[in-house]
Structure 1
Amino acid sequence: MRRRLTLSLILFGLGLISPAASQSIAPPTASGDQIFDAWASEFQGRALVAGIDPVVLAREMAGLTPDVRVAGADSRQPEFSKPISAYLEGVVTQDRLIIGRRRGAEVEAFPAIEAASGVPPEILLGVWALESGFGSLQGNYDTLRSLATLAAQGRRRAWAEGEMIATLRIIQSGEQPRARLQGSWAGAMGQTQFIPSTYLSTAVDQDGDGRRDIWNSSADALGSAANLLAKAGWVRGQSWAREVTVPAGFDFSLTEGPRETPAWWAQRGVIRADGRPWTALDADAKAQLVAPAGAEGPQFLLFPNHFAIRAYNNSLSYALGVGMLADGYLGEGALIRSWPKETPLPLVDRMTAQRALAALGFDPGAPDGVVGMGTRRSLRAWQATRGLVADGYLSDAMVQRLKAEASALPTIAGENAHD
């Protein structure tokens, strides 16, 4: 206690915390988890420096314990990576389209939301569907406890502590009680799954009742989602993406690369798959080419609105899911080119491929089994030097070829002496 009091007095003397925050507060109730308890005691000082009222802090930290469900979920790595075709098949379903059209007809606030933000209802329906099943699957985790568990584990400590402080600020403001702040194990809340800091900065009172209630008010939740997309750069009236075709012998190393106008891409043989002309807004936009399932699957030009969707969840698959649902709500047809038959890759194969790329001089970063931008970029570079189609698609055949080539590398004497 003396150490905590001294620290508070030093911080007060330096002008880093207010007189109220310089008060000593009791340590949190011991949870029985030594790592969690040590973290909680240290966090209190940081929360005081951030301006959290000592009374609020002491009340909310009292009795706080780690949630073993959150700890398990955060450390769980899926054994198999679901192919994008399987993911989208599970996302863009007739049930979601039928329910979305029905729920969309019930949201009276959509015209006002679109007028204010430029975001059309069909995109918001796609977000609503994926984030919470149109509000039916919001999660019942105590947000403060979830974030405390993540912070104590240490893997994402700075982020989790920042979100904890945002949660405490919501409580301190009186806008929402802690009992209302429930959501997913990762701290996302409400019908549109906002993390606490995003709630503070971006949530809106769309229904005008004086509260930003993203849990019980669909208007508030959807208006808040539209505000997030607008802040991320949503362009009114522009497409999110369009399916395109590429010519034989196309240089797939251009995928996930330059952002250029459709005319620039047309000079390289990239045209709309449906044969329609570009709208004026789309024709002037800078778009990026992607081939999510490689050269054998459908290709897309991604417009700036696609990347606005990724401000919600920085995943190509997620943004494609939202956009394809939106197209479905508009009555757009299926893709012109079908997804290829894809094989799920086990974690060990994904990590082995990453290690092989690094050994061969094409470092993709830490071998974490996540086939992200770094892995795809390295894979494209390796494919290009081997005379392969440089589409950056990690298939089972590519994994086997990488393993074989890396295993043939000469070893350094004594390297395996302890194996």
Structure 2
Amino acid sequence: MRTRLPLFLLLAGCATPVAPAASALQAVPHSATPAAADAARPAQASVAPPTASGDMIFDAWASDFQGRALAAGIDPAVFRREMAGLTPDPRIAALDSRQPEFSKPIGDYLKGVVTADRVTIGQRRRADVAEFGAIESRYGVPRDILIGIWALESGYGSIQGDNDVLRSLATLAAQGRRRAWAEGEMIATLRIIQSGEHPRSRLKGSWAGAMGQTQFIPSTYLATAVDQDGDGRRDIWGSRADALASAANLLAKAGWTRGQGWAREVTVPAGFDFGLTEGPRETPAWWADKGVRPADGRPWSAADQAAKAQLVAPAGAGGPLFLLLPNHFVLRQYNNSLAYSLGVGLLADRLGGGAGVVRPWPAETPLSLVDRMTAQRALAALGFDPGAPDGVVGMGTRRALREWQKARGLTADGYLSGDMVRRLRDEAAAKPAR
């Protein structure tokens, strides 16, 4: 699946573990002579260097990797055949190291996700896939959620990526930044090929190794892909039924609760303590005691009333607010991004006839990488630890920002706006040097 922040990162935790290599030296009596010990050693399969791309780093990694691949059960003949002539892809090396200069505001991202055209196409697709009824019945995941994933992952199957997945993963593994993950996915790819289910030529996908209409990484394909159309193959590239049922199976295995929603937009009273955002998970009744109400005025369903929800303010106190139900966090198992999961859910709501958010998304100015890192360094200098200053505004940065905002008497929503960057920078610059 894609990682947006990117798609494939979420499922890296699903990577197939590599089995430890068996000892090549069998037990030999202590009294045995060296010659006898040598005779007792099992014969080793001779494996030539797997590739000679001319890139010294890549070739050294490939030679080192072959032992781990064979120990994980990859047939030497399959390994030699698929690695022969393999070269790193320079485009992927550049993409993996690229940090976006500007971060798109979440409101702009979501307005680009939930569009009239995408809703129209999605509603048409609802009628096109005859298997939706069977998929919903078996896995309990609503078709509108699956259509939302389908839309975001591949534009309803139209944009699946045409990269050789094995080459992409080999390039990522050789670079070393995410070597263990990429090698695990390479072994999963080789297992697919070795099984005969699909040849390597079929395993096309994104630059990060995500494949098919629902963008599964190879280990996730092995663990959760299903043959919904009954043709004997799990074809997430050419079969819409297989791709959508596989996504439903992934969500069901991750804990999707049948009959519950995913989130509700809410309102809060004046003076509300925004320090509660991204904090406790409590029932809607608990939140109601604090003045939190559904923005559309409709009551909670019985299933949702029993669920524990977390409050978020994705665009700060001035934007739409949401109580996230447990199924939202299941969507995060597909792609661990708040923006992505909100996009899937809000698009699904529109497909089901909903009107969209009640409170409009505020106009926001994109923050540069320098802005984000400046804010993180300023927080650290002022005694509020956001973690490493990497320019990624994640949970640690938002928590530190809320603590700083609360200490300064500001609305503690944890939202990093341009104004917050300026305030942090100026305060840190004015702090006397020790």
TM range (shorter): over 0.9
1:276 aligns with 2:276: no
Kindly state the Cα deviation for residue 24 of structure 1 after the two structures are TM-superposed: 2.0
Q: d(CA) in 2 for partners of 1:216 and 1:360? A: 54
Which one of 348, 361, 373 corresponds to residue 395 of structure 2?
Answer: 373
Question: Aligned Cα RMSD in Å?
Answer: 1.6
- Letter aligned with residue 12 of structure 1: A
Equivalent in the alignment of 2:247: 225
Equivalent in the alignment of 1:13: 25
Trace 1:1-400 onto structure 2 (pairs within 5 A).
11-13=23-25, 22-400=44-422
Kindly state the Cα deviation for residue 411 of structure 1 after the two structures are TM-superposed: 2.3
Q: d(CA) in 1 for partners of 2:22 and 2:345? A: 53
Q: d(CA) in 1 for partners of 2:154 and 2:182? A: 22
Q: Mean Cα displacement is larger for which, 94-103 or 217-226?
A: 94-103
Tell me, what secondary structure is at the counterpart of 1:175?
coil
TM-score by length of 1: 0.94
Change in 2 beyond 3 A, CA 1:240/1:10: closer
Kindly state the Cα deviation for residue 232 of structure 1 after the two structures are TM-superposed: 1.1
Kindly state the Cα deviation for residue 37 of structure 1 after the two structures are TM-superposed: 0.8
- Letter aligned with residue 52 of structure 1: I
- Letter aligned with residue 85 of structure 1: G
Change in 2 beyond 3 A, CA 1:52/1:14: farther
Kindly state the Cα deviation for residue 9 of structure 1 after the two structures are TM-superposed: 11
Change in 2 beyond 3 A, CA 1:195/1:390: same
Tell me, what secondary structure is at the counterpart of 1:31?
coil
TM-score by length of 2: 0.91
> Is the contact between residue 21 and residue 52 of structure 1 (CA under 8 Å) also seen in structure 2?
no
> Is the contact between residue 21 and residue 51 of structure 1 (CA under 8 Å) also seen in structure 2?
no
> Is the contact between residue 21 and residue 68 of structure 2 (CA under 8 Å) also seen in structure 1?
no
- Letter aligned with residue 112 of structure 1: A
Equivalent in the alignment of 1:5: none
Q: Which has the higher contact order (CA 8 A, sep 6+)?
A: 2
- Aligned residue-pair number: 402
Kindly state the Cα deviation for residue 189 of structure 1 after the two structures are TM-superposed: 0.2
> Is the contact between residue 289 and residue 299 of structure 1 (CA under 8 Å) also seen in structure 2?
yes
Kindly state the Cα deviation for residue 410 of structure 1 after the two structures are TM-superposed: 2.4
Where does structure 2 lack aligned partners over 5 or more consecutive residues? 1-19, 28-40
> Is the contact between residue 51 and residue 62 of structure 2 (CA under 8 Å) also seen in structure 1?
no
Tell me, what secondary structure is at the counterpart of 1:122?
helix
Kindly state the Cα deviation for residue 407 of structure 1 after the two structures are TM-superposed: 1.1
Kindly state the Cα deviation for residue 12 of structure 1 after the two structures are TM-superposed: 2.5
Tell me, what secondary structure is at the counterpart of 1:13?
coil
Q: Deviations over 1:21-74 (max 9, x none)?
A: 941211022111111111111000111111111111111110010001111111
Q: d(CA) in 2 for partners of 1:284 and 1:129? A: 30
